[in-house]
Each structure stands twice: as C-alpha cells, then as structure tokens.
Amino acid sequence: MAVFLTKESKVLVQGMTGGEGMKHTRRMLAAGTNVVGGVNPRKAGQTVDFDERAVPVFGAVAEGMRATGADVTVVFVPPAFAKSAVVEAADAGIGLAVVITEGIPVHDSVAFTSYAKEKGTRIIGPNCPGLITPGQSNAGIIPADITRSGRVGLVSKSGTLTYQLMYELRDIGFSTCVGIGGDPVVGTTHIDCLAAFQDDPDTELIVLIGEIGGDAEERAAAYIRDHVTKPVVGYIAGFTAPEGKTMGHAGAIVSGSSGTAQAKKEALEAAGVKVGNTPTETARLVLDRLETGA
Amino acid sequence: MDLYEHQARGLFQEHGIPVPRAEVTDSPQGAREIARRLGGRVVVKAQVKTGGRGKAGGVRLAADPPAAELTARQILGMDIKGHTVGKVMLAQPVDIEAEFYVSYVLDRAAGRFLAIASAEGGMDIEEVAASRPEAVARIHIDPVEGVTSAKAGEIADAAGLPARTVDVLVRLWQVLVREDAVLVEVNPLVRTRQGEILALDGKVTLDDNARFRQARWGDESVAHDDPLEAAAAAKGLNYVKLEGEVGIIGNGAGLVMSTLDVVAGCGARPANFLDIGGGASARVMADGLSVILSDPAVKSVFVNVFGGITACDAVADGIVQALEAVELTKPLVVRLDGNNAVRGRAILDGRAHPLVQQATTMDGAARRAAQLANTS
C-alpha cells in the first residue's frame, strides 16, 4: 500500500522542460513512475521524448489533470516562480504537490503551504528530495536504484542521510521514504508521516531522521508517545554544530538553547525511540529490532 | 542574515517607525563630531550581531563630545562574545517612562508568523515568557490578511500596550513583508516622558533565499568575519569554519552534519562544515580542497561522499582531477559508498596518491581521519 505515492499515482512535472526537470523526469520514468505530462505554458501542445516514451506538455496543471487524471505534481520551477506554480496546482485541486525547488523565500513558503492546506492539497517540501515507494513510483530526485521494496518507512529532513540509510538497509527494503525538506517551513511534517506509516499495513518499522533547528523532532517524540505503536528508530544530525551558524539547510540552526541535537535525542528516547549515534549504528538498530520481532 | 542595529534602525526609519536621532561611525574622532551634532550627551552603542552587549560594557552614556570620543575609543575593537566591534552607533538619550516588547517571528510548527508583544520590555523576553507567561501575548498572523490596524489593535490589547503603538505594529509588519525578513524585533519600544513612542533598539534578520528579489541588499551585508569563510563564499561554497583539526568535505547538508558528529565521536574535532552538493563535481571538489588545505589548523581531511544520482565512479574521477589542480599537503581519507562504489574505489586506487587512503565505511573513515589528525 505504501504512503502518499503508489504505482497508481499519475504524476505531472511542473518545470519538466528545464534542465533539472528533464534529467529527473527521465530518472522517474526509469524508476517506474507513471509520468503523464509536463506543465509549461510556453510549450503547451508539444511532446518530449524520453527514450521510448513521449510525454505531452500541458499549458496548465488543470488542463493536464483533465486530460490525464493526474493526482500528483512534482515542482522543479525556479524559486521566483515556485509560489505561483504551487498555488496553480492547489487551485486545480491536485492531491499532492512535491516541491523540489531549493531557495524559496520563506514568506512564499508560508503563503503557499497555508493556501494549499485550505484547498486540500498536501505539500511535500519545499527544498526536499521528494518521496519514493520503491518498485512502484518515485516523485522527485531520490536515487531509485540504491534500495528495494520492503517493510521500513522512512521520514527525513535530509536527502543524503535518507540515501545513506536506504543503502545501508537495502536488503530489508522500504515501504515509502519521504524527504520532507530542510527549510524552516515545510508542508508535510515528521508527524504527518508518522501518522501515515502507523496506518500503513505495509510498514512494520519507522525510521525518523532529524537534524538541528526548530522543535519538529520534539513534537514528533510527543506524537510517538501518544499515537504510534509501531517501533521507531531515530537518528539526529548536528551534535557538533555551533550556536548561530546555519548548517547548509536554511532551517538547520541552533538558536540559544533551542534546536539542539541533544534535546531532540533525549525527547525521542523519552518516547521509547532507539536513537543511533551514527547512520550505520542506526541501521544496525533497525536490523536488531526487526530480527527480535516488533 | 542578521543586520546590525544601525541597519535595522535604518529600515525602521524608512518604513515610518519613529526612532531616536542617531549616527554610526568607525572612528573615535567621528564619534566626537556626531556627539556634537546630536547635542553633546549621547549613548555610545557597540555594533555587534550578538546579544548581551550591555552587560559586556558595549553600551555606555557619554556626557559630552570629548567623552564620546574616549568611550568610542574604548568600545571600538572590543571583543563581545567573539565578535570584534568595528563600528559604534551614537544616539540621542531618551527619557524613558515605559518599556515594551514587540516582534514578529516565524513559528515553524504553525508555518506562520507570530506576533509576540509584552508591556514588560527592555529585558530578555524569553525570561519574561518563562517566569510570567501571562505577561506575553502571542498571536498568529494570517499570511493573506497580514497585520491590519484591527489586528494590531488586537495585539496591543492582548499585551496591554498603549493604543498609540498600533501604528508601529502595522509598520513593523510592513518591514517584515516588504524587506523579506524572517524576524523583526523592537526591544525596547519606549514611551518617553514627552509621550513619544520610539523604537530604541531593534533586530532584523533577512531571508537569504530572497536575495534574488532584494537587489539593494548588496554584498556588504553578507560580509564574513572569517577569512576562510569569505574565500569559500567567493567560490560559491557552502562552508562554515569550526575550531578543530579534521577538514570535512561531503555531499548534502545532513550527511555533512552527520560526518562532523561521527568525527567528534572518534575523539577529534571537525575543522569545518563543507557541503559540495549532490553533484560533487571535480571543480567544486578542487575548490573545496583548496579552501580546506589553506586552513593552518587542518591536520587531515575526510572526504565523505554518498554516490546517489552522481555515482561514485564520477565522484572518484572528480577527486582525481581535483588532485591535479590542487597540491595535496595533508593526508586525505576518502569514503565512497553507494552507486558504483567498487568502480569508484578502483579509480582512486589506480591513482595511487601517497597521501590518499580509502575506507569503505563512514565510521571507519572517521576513525582513520581522527587518528591522522591526533598523531601528526
């Protein structure tokens, strides 16, 4: 079953005809994603050939949805145009918008996440690698060939840490991996993913990867304590990050006593989550837990 | 990006928020002249991007222009929590009758901006919020509506601020939105004995992501205190200088943060954060290596790359090319994992550089890099 994305998902790509859009649409198709169209008002009516598959370009998201029944859009448009692209997708009534674009001003993210919520559109991202349900569909830029389908659900702020864990646990495999993004404001949170994995019969264990900044992990810990019965294994990055310096992601900053890795680790452990000290140790905790039976 | 107090004051003034008369200078002589223009008696304030400058002696009253010069001489060059004072602002003193606190901050969990206001300004708002939470009003702002006069009135009422602060609350929201700020804070906002409302001190943090549409920000505002950070920024690298001996290069912010932690767990201190991004191209690798090798504190370098979209053989080619462009002077430990890892490792083995060694796991590579740093 997986969460948010299955082989039934019909995917549009906003910004498909740009460099990144072309590259990753090809990769998504190779991973089995049912990409049904691209969106670019200036290239409407054209088709783009990806190996054996010709993908039509629509002038608007609504038009693409009418023609194909698309229910997911992946957004690659540049930061200056990302807000209007997401608003357009929400107005068209699409169910899921995966916003890959990095560097979107936070006022724009606040505006479009709030707008999409009103319209009933789930946003994943921005500044995220997207999500993958291995063997079924891949919406975004996650490398599909480093893992396989299985029974672990994964939620993470970080792309490369997601890939690292996907690779370390490639023999076990994943139901769905969701990269929620490293920006201060994101549309889908750790908690949203925990809730979805808890309800997903294909997910047996959940891996939660967090990093410094904000209090999303602390909130996730409280949610786990009250609502999650499946085993959760955690990892937090950024123990050595000094206060006041942004570590790559716009959201990854320790301000005063808040947002530290230690506080996040303690909150998760207090909620019964086993937390690894390194990605490799985290993978081992997952294996141990699955072997002893959850 | 944090602004200096005098820059924040400038933005407040542009948006019609009343501020005391003030000017900024980097010289004691300049301070004397400014004090004369402002009527003699002035407050001399260190311009640093950190709190607690008052306690550190960075804010002092000077009775006349010669005293202002002397005080500026003492404050300029002072170290406040690791920040060297390069400029002072001189401001006309104000007769304070009451001090308030107002700010708009990003509430990440709610995905909205939050107005925070209190009639107990002038001190650390976190302390007030902790000891007397009822004294601090917190009201979320709808992103479409923004702060109208009605909303500002609601905030002022909830915090017990005088009605005359409503105009400041509306204008402060305009600063936040029009300047693409993620934080605007006035602390204290004061009522003088003459009945004026004035923003006495302020803090503004701008959103780096909005640089493309805020052309007037210029380069001055992103000045890096650290020369290595400045050199890295000039090359477009995502680099943060730290205090240790193991240079770190990795791809992806999360993986690099994790790499720092794993190195620290092996008993060594990371010298930097450097994320060369998913592509890990030869040019970026060479630029990154040259910045790290120019750091005299670095004793070993750990390159930690996970080959996802860019497979490890391409990354290994990039490292080999980078080794042609940069003279390696310190031992380099490389860990390649992910797609085509075996081929990538073979390429590096083939290059057989005497200072390059490989490890197959992240933990093993970190141990090796830490050992090399601790024994050299």
pLDDT at B224: 67
Of B91, B116, B147, which closes a domain?
A: B91
Q: Are residues B369 and B231 in the same domain?
A: yes
Identify the pLDDT of residue B123: 73
- Measured between CB atoms, does B236 come within 8 Å of chain A? no
Q: Mean pLDDT over residues B356-362, rounded?
A: 94
Q: What is the 3-state secondary structure (H, E, C) of B114-128?
A: EEEEECCCCCCHHHH
Q: Which domain holds residue B172?
A: 96-217
The per-residue pLDDT for range B56-81, each reduced to its tens digit, is 999 999 999 999 999 999 999 999 98
In chain A, the residue whose alpha carbon lies closest to the alpha carbon of B237 is A248
Let me know if residue B9 belongs to a domain: no
Question: Which pLDDT band, with edges at 50, 70 and 90, does B288 fall under?
Answer: very high
3-state secondary structure of B135: helix
Q: Does one domain contain both B199 and B75?
A: no
Contacts of A77 (CB under 8 A, 6+ apart): A14, A15, A18, A85, A101
Q: Are residues B136 and B205 in the same domain?
A: yes
A258 DSSP 8-state letter? B
Q: Does B253 lie in the same domain as B173? A: no
The predicted pLDDT at position A66 comes to 98
Alpha helices by DSSP H, listed for chain A, are 19-30, 61-68, 79-91, 106-119, 159-168, 190-199, 216-227, 261-270, 279-292
The answer as to whether B234 is a domain residue is yes
Q: Pick from B113, B253, B362: which is nearest to A247 by CB?
A: B253
pLDDT over threshold 80, residue B369? yes
- Cβ distance A80 to B308 less than 8 Å, yes or no, reads no
A10-124 has CATH 3.40.50.720 classification: yes
Residue B16 located in a structural domain? no
Instruction: Name the catalytic one among B5, B69, B179, B185.
Output: B185
Beta strands across the sheet bearing A47-50: A47-50, A53-58, A34-39, A10-14, A72-75, A96-99, A122-124
A256 and B251 within 8 Å at the Cβ level: the answer is no
Question: B313-351: per-residue pLDDT in tens?
Answer: 988 998 999 899 889 999 999 999 988 899 999 999 999
- Domain end call among B91, B116, B143: B91
pLDDT at B242 over 90: yes
Residues B195 and B244 in one domain: no
My answer on whether B232 and B261 are in the same domain is: yes
Nearest-10 Cα torsion for A86, A88, A89, A92: 160
pLDDT for res A245: 84
Could you tell me if B273 and B355 lie in one domain? Answer: yes
| Residue B7 belongs to some domain of the structure | no
Are both B344 and B246 inside the same structural domain? yes
**pLDDT of B31 higher than 80:** yes
Distance between B119 CA and the closest CA of chain A, angstroms: 23
Sheet holding B22-25, edge to edge: B22-25, B88-91, B42-46, B59-62
In this structure, what CATH number is given to the domain that contains residue B296? 3.40.50.261
Maximum alpha-carbon separation in chain B: 80
Q: Which residue has the tokens 């509506």?
A: B145
Cβ separation A163–B308 shorter than 8 A: yes
Residue B251 at interface with chain A, using a CB cutoff of 8 Å: yes
CA B265 vs. chain centroid, Å, equals 26
A147-292: which CATH topology?
A: Rossmann fold (3.40.50)
Output phi, psi for B295, to 5 deg: -85, 110
In this predicted structure, what is the pLDDT of residue A90? 98
Fold matches, A10-124 and A147-292: yes
Q: Is B158 on the interface with A (CB under 8 A)?
A: no
Q: Cα angle at B112 between B106 and B116, to 5 degrees?
A: 55
Q: With H, G, I as helix, E, B as strand and everything else as coil, classify residue A88.
A: helix
Q: How far is CA B370 from CA A86, B40, B217, B244, B296, in A?
A: 46, 58, 41, 11, 16
Given this model, what pLDDT does residue A258 score? Answer: 80
C-alpha dihedral, B339 to B341 to B343 to B345, nearest 10°: 150
- B241-250: average pLDDT: 95
In a domain, B299, yes or no: yes
Minimum mean pLDDT among A59-63, B51-55, B154-158: which range? B51-55
Task: Inform me whether the pLDDT recorded for B294 exceeds 90.
Answer: yes
Please report, in tens digits, the pLDDT of each residue of chain A (294 residues total): 699 999 999 999 999 999 999 999 999 999 999 999 999 999 999 999 998 899 999 999 999 999 999 999 999 999 999 999 999 999 999 999 999 999 999 999 999 999 999 999 999 999 999 999 999 999 999 999 999 999 999 999 999 999 999 999 999 999 999 999 999 999 999 999 999 999 999 999 999 999 999 999 999 999 999 999 999 999 999 999 988 888 888 788 887 778 899 999 999 999 999 999 999 999 999 999 998 864
DSSP A126: S
Number of domains, chain B: 3
DSSP A160-176: HHHHHHHHHTTTT-EEE
Sheet holding A174-179, edge to edge: A137-140, A130-133, A174-179, A149-156, A205-211, A232-237, A274-276
Residues B180-225: tens digit of each pLDDT: 999 999 999 999 999 999 999 999 999 989 999 997 776 555 556 6
Which residue, among B168, B158, B217, B220, has the nearest Cα to B191 in the 3D structure? B168
Alpha carbon A62 to chain centroid, angstroms: 23
Answer left, alpha or beta for residue A173, where phi above 0 means left and psi between -120 and 50 means alpha.
left
Both B235 and B348 in a single domain? yes
Min distance A269 CA to chain B CA atoms (Å): 18
Question: How far from B280 is each of B4, B241, B251, B289, CA to CA, in Å?
Answer: 35, 20, 7, 12
- Tell me what ipTM this predicted complex has: 0.92
Question: The domain spanning residue B207 has which CATH number?
Answer: 3.30.470.20
- What residues does each domain of chain A span? 10-124, 147-292
- Say if residue B145 is exposed, middle or buried (CB neighbours under 10 Å; 0-12, 13-18, 19+): exposed
Task: Say if CB B82 and CB B48 are below 8 A apart.
Answer: no
The pLDDT, as a whole number, for residue A294 is: 46
Give the per-residue pLDDT at A1: 66
Q: What is the CATH number of the domain that holds B30?
A: 3.30.1490.20
CB B173 within 8 A of CB B180: no
Do residue A156 and residue B337 have CB atoms under 8 angstroms apart? no
Query: Do B369 and B260 lie in a common domain?
Result: yes
Q: What pLDDT sits at residue B219?
A: 56
- Judge if B174 and B45 occupy the same domain: no
For residue range B88-136, list pLDDT tens digits in order. Answer: 999 999 999 999 999 999 999 999 999 999 999 887 787 888 888 899 9
pTM attached to this predicted model: 0.93
Closest CB to A247 among B273, B338, B339? B273
**Where a domain ends, among B157, B189, B217?**
B217
Q: How far is A103 from chain B (nearest CA, A)?
A: 5
Mean pLDDT, all residues of chain B = 93
Distance CA A172, CA A202 (A): 13
B8 part of a folded domain:
no
Active site residues of A: 249
> CB-CB: which of B238, B256, B337 is closest to A167?
B337
